[in-house]
Structure formats: structure tokens, C-alpha cells
């Protein structure tokens, strides 16, 4: 049943176009891979251009640094991918990230709680927030935009009620994790956060493509009404994606607290935009139903590489990052539009 | 239950739509919300006595009048605003007093209107965009760009007090805002890009553009003609309020006295159907986005003139979210197809009053966001038909009717 519903899964588009022309409109040919491939090509081109232009750019560590500096964004964007695949949107991610850093910092530094207790608690809070928003969105039929906007205000407001100043984290476990370098070779290293982020990517890929929940996500995003009429658990799926997004945001917050070693209500301001931009640049359709986790990974890398290039350039000011990201968004959205327009 | 809708009653169920006096034509019929669940709690009392809508409508008198009042879409926002004001009166005696000083009006209420003026402007533009089923996330960036450009121009003038130079600056800023709005509208109507995404581009890039204009600095100016726009007084009233009143009056005239509002609502209800009916939906959508950006541009002038400086980074930050909130609190559905200018003004005033209240009551300002979240949630839940049905109106629900409660919306092809 569910395999008929799925509009895009990795399990091979072979032979589908021939016998099911009507249903396979989305599957036709390999068009659905074009956005992801375009993102990959762009990434490659940026890397090559950067390598030719700047000394010491073409090294593996540059790529690894992009991962290290954006591990938290990657995790958050993965959660956002789930939500956007169902056709929803989650504006609360940045605030939940900030709230997670704030709770971690206040409990660990202020109350002296052990990190092993704090981290699960933070993850639980994030998931619970997401769950609550998912319930409101589904059962009370209010637009995701508004509900998650309220969630954004709520989480950010909670940050400020905990404290308006930055709280440093001096706990040994946190500093140890922050300073750990995992050497891949003599010259290259990654941080534990990268491993966690990659684990999240692997789990997300598995869930989206090899489990019932993943198929339901694509089905709901493709057409919610059809999914419902087919008897798919729309309610469970929709609530699940917001819970996943909340959980990922909280995990991103934990990673950010490793990275920053502080909790602050102004952390991750505007991160929801970065996450959405990464997902869009990664080729996920904002109407839902089509997209890949891999695309989101590439999207995050593109955003990170833009920042790296701008810092290498030296003369360009930081606001050019925003202008470039805006231009990229435009190009990729146009590309998506052209691809979808060619469908019958 | 103001009027029978002309549709045949659905199989024994009450076909009552929530009463919407004031908007005679509600073209959002395509956005079918499951009939039985739609009955609002207040109207349910009336509806349950009559077996069908025509019967209820044929019974004039107190009940129908009551339903018209309680079912009015401005009821809940009005109640919330009244409660907020009441809370203020309790905490701050003399809150409602307005006095004349030096020929100017002073008072908390005047302040709320004055500081809320930019938000009202942006929200009015946003209302029309949302009425077409769109959304404009870029208004905050437009606010920053408009303020940055005008301040940059004025700071380059030899004589900053020169009225002509200030007018040129204002014209330039508004012209650029208009262009940005046309760009948004072109992306939405010309390329058919989802509005939330099309305007996301400008939201992200526009912030960078504003910082590019100001070169990352905060431009400060010292121009009294420019100061008038956001901080000055004219005819005893703050100039900002006059501007808002003028824009509101023009908008209300264009949309409610002419057919424009009806056309906008029909495009929001069903763009394809309205195109087939002969409405130039494309031009209309572009116009609406241009108007929204123009409003944002004026708001940007006000904000920058009030503080006599332009900050590309922080001017108008999150104003798009506040504006969308104001629109939603005012009862305009994000689905599009109907709008309420009065509701939007009420919504914007609620947000501004909330901010003022928090300051005057002495709650730490950091918690503003918490209260905002609370108010948004409460107002949205109260306005949600699904919520009202589940909480206030449990009767008549068949057990296990989960497919019905999932409220099948017919997707409107854009």
C-alpha cells in the first residue's frame, strides 16, 4: 500500500514510468534528482573556484571545518526537512536551539546538575514542544506558520525569563567534548559534534526511506487529503514530524552549547531562515512531498562554504553572505519551478 | 445566520457558516470546511433551534441579532483589546486620560497609536497580500532598506533642513520599496513561486542590501523635516497617526467602496476560477505586493525618522511576524479569500497595547515574547473552528468520526 503512495523514494524508479504514467508524474525520468545534483555541482564548483583563487583553500580540513562550524545547523535543518516534506514549516527551531543552550547552561552552571541528566532533559523538552505544536496544528487546524510562530515567541521568551545575560558553561564534560579532536589523518580532524550530526543524517535517511513513517511523510506532503482517504495515519505523521523537528532543534542546541560553551537568549537568532534556506537549496519542494536528506546536507554545506569563501576573500563584508544566500535561493527556487513546470 | 447562503443544506447537518456580516460575498466557498464542524459556539445556540439555515434566518429578532453580534469576527479581538486596556486602567490610574500640552495631544492611548503606527501600516499592506492567499515575509527588510536609503540621501545633503531634499529622499525610498514590491509580485504572479518562498528571498537578501546601503554603519541624521514623519505633530496629532489614517482611508475606500476588495478576495478564494471569470489575477497580485511593500516603505520612513537614524541590521526586525500576527488576530484567514481591515488595525493595536502594558505594569520587558505567544495562541485557538467545535460544542458529534474532524480542505490550485 504505502509503496504506491510514495512519490519519491530511493528504492529505484525502475520501470515505474512505463506502466503507471498517471501516478508516476513526479517520478518521471530522473528529474527529481536535478535539484540535488545542481546543489552538488554548485558545491563542487564553489570548492574548485575557491581552491583556484585562494591559497590553502583546497584542503580537506576546509570541508571538515564547514562541517564542524555547521554541525548544529545540519541537525536543525534535518528536522526542518521532515516538516517541509509534509508541506508544513517550523519557525520555532532557532528559538528552541537558544532555549536548549539556555536550559543546559543554567542547569549545569547554575544548579550544578550532571550533564548526563541535563542533555536528555533538554532533548525531551524540545521534543515535547514540537509535539505540542504538532498537536495544535493538527487537531485545531491552525496554520503551521502561526503555531510555530507562537512557539518561536514562547521559546525565545522562556530564554529571557531564565536570564538575559550569557551564561558560560564551565562543566568539565562540556569543555572536554568541546576540545576533543578526532583525528582522521595527520592534518585533518573533526569534532564529536560532527559525528553526532552525521549520525542524525544517517538515522534521518533511514527513517525517511526505509520505514513506514518516512513513506507516510512523503505521502502526506504529496497530498494530505489523498493520504487521509487512503487510511494513512495523517495525524500521527504530522505530529511526529513536528516532534522530530523539536527534537532535532534541541539536539542542535546541545551541539551549539558544545560549540559556544555558553547559553544565551540571543543564540541562533534567525537560524530558522538558515535552516529553511538550506532545505530549499537542497532541492526540497516547499509544497512538500519531494526532497532528500542528502540535499539538505548539501544545502548546509553550500551555506557554510559561502561563509568560508567570504572570510577567505577578506575584503567582502559579512552582509554579502545574506545577499549571496538570497541570490542562491532565487536561482534554486527558479530551478525548482522550471522542473515542476515541465511536469504534465 | 444572517442570510441563507443559497446552498442546499447538507444531509441533515447544519450548513451554517459562521456568521460574517459585513462581507456579503464570501467567495472562499472552494475552501470547504466540513459543514457540521463549522458552527461557531455562539451561533450554535441559534442553529440548534432551527433545523436548517433558512429556518434560522427566517426567525428574525433577538436571537439573530445576538448571533450577529457574537458571531462577528471582530468580537474576539475587540474583547482581548478591551481586556488589555482594562488591565492597564486597573494598574495605572489615569491610563485613559488624554491631555493637551503645548498644543499637542499626550496620553498613553495616543502613545499606543503613535508607536503602533508603523505596525498598523505594515499590517494593512500584509492584509491585502494575505487576502490573495499570499504572504509577504520581506516587509521587515523593506522597512530597513527604505529607512537606510532615505537616511543615506539626507545625510548626503548640504542642508539637512531642506524640505525639497527630504522630499526627494522620501520619494527615492518609496520608489525603491515599490520596485521591491513589484519584484515580489512578479515572482509570485509571474513565475508562480509560492509566496512564502518568493518573499523569503528578499527577506534574506534585503537585510544584506540594507546593510550594503548603510555600509554596515548606523547612519544618523539631523533633519527636522524628516523628523516630522515619525516623531512630529501636525494639527495637534502625531503625524504618524495622520499618515496611518490617510492610508487606511484610501485603502478602505479602494477595497470596500470599489470592487477592488471583492476582486482581491476572489483571487484569494480561487485564483483559477477568478481568472476564468475574467479577473486579471496576475496584475492584481502584483499590485497587492507592490502596495504591501509601499506600506512597509512608509513604515520604514517612520521608524527611521522617529530615531533619526537608519540601522540596516535591526530596523524592522521581526516586524513581518508582528504584522502577520496582527492580521491573523484580526480574523483574516491565512488561507486567503477574505480580509478585514478593521480587524487588522485591532490586531496591531492589541500587539502594541500588549507591549505598552508590559512596560507600564512593570513586568520585566524580557517576558514580552511570552505574553505575545500566549495572546497569539489564545486568539488563534478561539478563532479556530476546529477548536471551538471540540471544546465548546461536543454535542452531535458521532463517535469515531475522526476523518470528519480532520477537516478535509479542498486544496485551491494556485
pLDDT in tens, A54-107: 877 777 788 888 999 999 999 999 999 999 999 999 989 999 999 999 999 999
CB–CB of B370 and A89 under 8 A?
no
How much is the pLDDT for B71? 61
Q: Tell me whether strands B104-106 and B99-101 are parallel, antiparallel or unpaired.
A: antiparallel
Other beta carbons less than 10 A from residue B170's beta carbon:
22
Q: Is B133 helix (H, G, I), strand (E, B) or coil?
A: coil
**Chain B environment of A151 (Cβ under 8 Å):** 373
How much is the pLDDT for B194? 80
Indicate the average pLDDT of chain A: 84
Indicate the average pLDDT of chain B: 76
How much is the pLDDT for A15? 42
**Chain A environment of B191 (Cβ under 8 Å):** 334, 337
Residue B261 near residue B254, CB atoms below 8 Å: yes
Cα separation values, B112 from B60, B237, B357, Å: 40, 13, 10
Residue B156 near residue B307, CB atoms below 8 Å: no
- Measured CA to CA, the distance from residue A139 to residue B402 in angstroms comes to 10
How much is the pLDDT for B311? 84
How much is the pLDDT for B407? 40
Instruction: Specify the range with the lowest mean pLDDT, choosing from A15-19, B5-9, B112-116, B117-121.
Output: B5-9
For residue B394, what pLDDT band results from cuts at 50, 70 and 90? Answer: low
User: What CATH number was assigned to the domain covering residues A35-51+60-342?
Assistant: 1.10.3470
Q: Is the pLDDT of residue B46 over 80?
A: no
- Measured CA to CA, the distance from residue B36 to residue A39 in angstroms comes to 47
Cα separation values, A61 from A173, A296, A308, B267, B311, Å: 25, 21, 12, 53, 37
How much is the pLDDT for A1? 39
Helix ranges (H only) for A180-318 are 192-210, 212-222, 224-229, 234-260, 271-281, 293-313
- The mean pLDDT value for B122-151 works out to 92
How much is the pLDDT for B413? 43
Question: What's the grid cell of residue A201?
Answer: 543524517
All structural domains of chain A with their residue ranges: 35-51+60-342
Q: Is the pLDDT of residue B58 over 80?
A: no
Closest CA in chain A for residue B377: A150
Other beta carbons less than 10 A from residue A321's beta carbon:
18
Residue B30 near residue B412, CB atoms below 8 Å: yes
Q: Which of B205, B366, B403 sits opposite A326 (nearest CB)?
A: B205
Question: What's the grid cell of residue B319?
Answer: 516586524
How much is the pLDDT for A62? 84
How much is the pLDDT for A31? 67
**Chain B environment of A320 (Cβ under 8 Å):** 208, 212
Residue B32 near residue B50, CB atoms below 8 Å: no
Give residue B99's region: left, alpha or beta (phi > 0; psi -120 to 50): beta
- Within 8 A by CB and 6+ apart from B209, the residues are A323, B141, B145
Q: Which of A153, A277, A287 sits opposite B376 (nearest CB)?
A: A153
- Measured CA to CA, the distance from residue B265 to residue B132 in angstroms comes to 6
Other beta carbons less than 10 A from residue A214's beta carbon:
22
- The mean pLDDT value for B171-194 works out to 92
Asked if B194 has any chain A CB less than 8 Å from its own CB, the reply is: yes
How much is the pLDDT for B393? 65
Q: Is A211 helix (H, G, I), strand (E, B) or coil?
A: coil
CB–CB of B205 and A322 under 8 A?
yes
**Chain B environment of A337 (Cβ under 8 Å):** 191-193
Give residue A111's region: left, alpha or beta (phi > 0; psi -120 to 50): alpha
For residue B334, what pLDDT band results from cuts at 50, 70 and 90? Answer: confident
Higher pLDDT, B67 or A113: A113
Q: Is the pLDDT of residue B51 over 50?
A: no
Average pLDDT of adjacent 10-residue blocks, chain A of 344 residues: 42 43 50 80 87 81 88 94 93 93 90 89 95 92 86 89 86 85 80 92 94 93 90 93 95 92 83 89 84 92 88 77 84 77 56
How much is the pLDDT for B63? 55
Asked if B373 has any chain A CB less than 8 Å from its own CB, the reply is: yes
**Chain A environment of B205 (Cβ under 8 Å):** 322-323, 325-327, 329-330
CB–CB of B196 and A317 under 8 A?
no
Instruction: Specify the range with the lowest mean pLDDT, choosing from A54-58, A207-211, B119-123, B239-243.
Output: A54-58
Task: List b or e across B183-211, with b for residues whose CB sees 16 or more CB atoms inside 10 angstroms.
Answer: bbbbbbbeeebbbbbbbbbbbbbbbbbbb
Structural domains of chain B, ranges and CATH numbers in brackets: 1-72+400-414 (no CATH), 75-383 (1.10.3470)
Angle between helices A93-105 and A115-139 (to 10 degrees): 150
- Measured CA to CA, the distance from residue A118 to residue B184 in angstroms comes to 45
- Measured CA to CA, the distance from residue B339 to residue B316 in angstroms comes to 24
CA torsion angle A116 A119 A120 A125 (round to 10): 150
Amino acid at each position: 500500500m504505502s509503496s504506491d503512495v510514495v512519490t519519491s523514494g530511493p528504492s529505484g524508479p525502475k520501470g515505474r514510468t512505463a506502466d503507471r504514467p498517471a501516478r508516476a508524474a513526479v517520478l518521471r525520468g530522473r528529474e527529481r534528482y536535478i535539484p540535488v545534483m545542481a546543489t552538488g555541482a554548485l558545491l563542487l564548483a564553489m570548492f574548485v573556484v575557491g581552491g583556484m583563487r585562494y591559497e590553502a583553500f583546497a584542503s580537506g580540513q576546509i570541508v571538515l571545518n564547514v562541517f564542524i562550524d555547521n554541525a548544529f545547523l545540519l541537525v536543525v535543518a534535518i528536522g526542518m526537512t521532515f516538516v517541509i516534506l509534509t508541506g508544513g514549516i517550523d519557525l520555532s527551531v532557532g528559538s528552541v536551539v537558544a532555549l536548549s543552550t539556555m536550559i543546559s547552561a543554567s542547569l549545569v552552571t547554575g544548579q550544578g546538575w550532571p550533564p548526563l541528566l541535563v542533555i536528555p532533559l533538554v532533548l525531551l523538552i524540545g521534543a515535547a514542544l514540537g509535539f505540542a505544536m504538532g498537536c495544535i496544528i493538527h487537531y485545531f487546524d491552525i496554520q503551521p506558520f502561526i503555531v510555530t510562530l507562537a512557539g518561536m515567541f514562547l521559546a525565545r521568551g522562556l530564554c529571557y525569563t531564565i536570564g538575559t545575560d550569557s551564561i558560560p558553561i564551565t562543566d568539565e564534560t562540556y569543555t572536554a567534548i568541546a576540545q576533543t579532536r578526532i583525528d582522521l589523518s595527520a592534518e585533518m580532524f573533526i569534532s564529536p559534534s560532527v559525528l553526532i550530526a552525521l549520525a542524525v543524517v544517517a538515522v534521518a535517511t533511514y527513517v525517511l526511506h526505509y520505514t513506514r513513517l518516512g513513506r507516510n511523510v512523503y505521502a502526506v506532503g504529496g497530498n494530505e487529503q489523498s493520504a487521509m482517504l487512503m487510511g494513512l495515519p495523517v495525524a500521527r505523521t504530522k505530529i511526529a514530524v513536528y516532534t522530530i523537528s523539536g527534537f532535532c532543534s534541541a539536539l542542535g542546541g546541545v551541539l551549539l552549547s558544545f560549540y559556544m560553551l555558553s547559553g544565551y537568549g540571543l543564540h541562533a537568532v534567525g537560524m530558522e531562515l538558515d535552516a529553511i534556506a538550506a532545505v530549499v537549496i537542497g532541492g526540497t519542494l516547499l509544497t512538500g512531498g519531494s526532497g532528500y536528506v542528502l540535499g539538505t546536507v548539501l544545502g548546509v554545506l553550500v551555506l557554510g562554504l559561502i561563509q568560508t569563501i567570504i572570510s577567505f576573500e577578506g575584503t567582502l563584508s559579512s552582509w554579502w553572505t545574506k545577499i549571496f544566500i538570497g541570490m542562491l535561493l532565487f536561482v534554486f527556487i527558479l530551478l525548482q519551478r522550471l522542473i515542476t513546470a515541465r511536469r504534465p | 445566520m444572517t442570510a441563507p447562503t443559497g446552498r442546499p443544506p447538507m444531509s441533515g447537518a447544519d450548513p451554517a457558516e459562521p456568521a460574517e456580516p459585513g462581507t456579503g460575498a464570501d467567495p472562499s466557498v472552494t475552501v470547504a470546511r466540513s459543514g457540521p464542524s463549522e458552527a461557531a459556539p455562539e451561533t450554535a445556540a441559534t442553529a440548534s433551534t432551527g433545523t436548517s439555515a433558512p429556518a434560522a434566518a427566517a426567525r428574525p429578532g433577538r436571537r439573530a441579532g445576538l448571533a450577529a453580534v457574537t458571531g462577528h469576527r471582530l468580537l474576539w479581538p475587540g474583547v482581548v483589546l478591551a481586556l488589555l486596556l482594562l488591565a492597564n486602567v486597573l494598574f495605572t490610574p489615569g491610563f485613559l486620560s488624554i491631555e493637551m500640552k503645548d498644543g499637542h495631544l499626550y496620553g498613553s492611548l495616543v502613545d499606543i497609536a503613535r508607536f503602533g503606527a508603523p505596525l498598523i501600516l505594515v499590517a494593512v499592506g500584509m492584509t491585502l497580500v494575505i487576502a490573495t492567499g499570499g504572504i509577504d515575509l520581506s516587509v521587515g527588510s523593506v522597512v530597513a532598506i527604505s529607512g537606510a536609503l532615505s537616511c543615506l540621501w539626507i545625510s548626503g545633503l548640504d542642508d539637512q533642513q531642506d524640505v525639497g531634499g527630504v522630499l526627494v529622499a522620501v520619494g527615492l525610498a518609496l520608489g525603491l520599496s515599490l520596485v521591491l514590491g513589484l519584484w515580489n509580485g512578479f515572482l509570485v504572479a509571474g513565475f508562480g513561486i509560492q509566496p512564502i518562498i518568493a518573499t523569503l528571498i528578499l527577506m534574506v537578501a534585503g537585510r544584506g542590501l540594507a546593510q550594503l546601503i548603510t555600509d554596515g554603519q548606523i547612519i544618523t541624521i539631523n533633519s527636522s523635516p524628516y523628523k516630522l514623519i515619525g516623531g512630529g505633530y501636525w494639527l495637534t496629532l502625531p503625524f504618524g497617526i495622520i499618515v496611518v489614517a490617510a492610508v487606511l482611508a484610501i485603502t478602505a475606500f479602494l477595497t470596500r467602496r470599489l470592487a477592488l476588495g471583492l476582486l482581491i478576495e476572489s483571487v484569494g478564494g480561487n485564483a483559477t476560477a477568478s481568472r476564468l471569470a475574467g479577473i486579471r489575477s496576475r496584475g492584481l497580485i502584483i499590485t497587492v505586493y507592490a502596495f504591501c511593500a509601499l506600506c512597509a516603505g512608509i513604515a520604514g520612513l517612520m521608524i527611521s525618522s522617529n530615531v533619526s537614524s537608519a540601522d540596516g541590521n535591526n530596523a524592522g526586525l521581526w516586524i513581518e511576524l508582528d504584522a502577520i500576527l496582527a492580521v491573523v488576530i484580526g480574523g483574516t484567514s491565512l488561507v486567503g479569500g477574505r480580509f478585514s481591515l478593521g480587524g487588522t488595525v485591532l490586531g496591531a493595536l492589541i500587539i502594541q497595547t500588549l507591549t505598552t502594558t508590559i512596560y507600564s505594569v512593570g513586568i520585566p520587558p524580557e517576558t514580552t515574547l511570552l505574553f505575545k505567544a500566549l495572546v497569539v495562541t489564545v486568539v488563534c485557538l478561539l478563532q479556530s473552528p476546529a477548536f471551538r467545535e471540540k471544546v465548546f460544542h461536543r454535542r452531535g458529534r458521532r463517535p469515531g468520526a475522526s476523518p470528519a474532524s480532520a477537516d478535509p480542505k479542498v486544496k485551491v490550485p494556485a
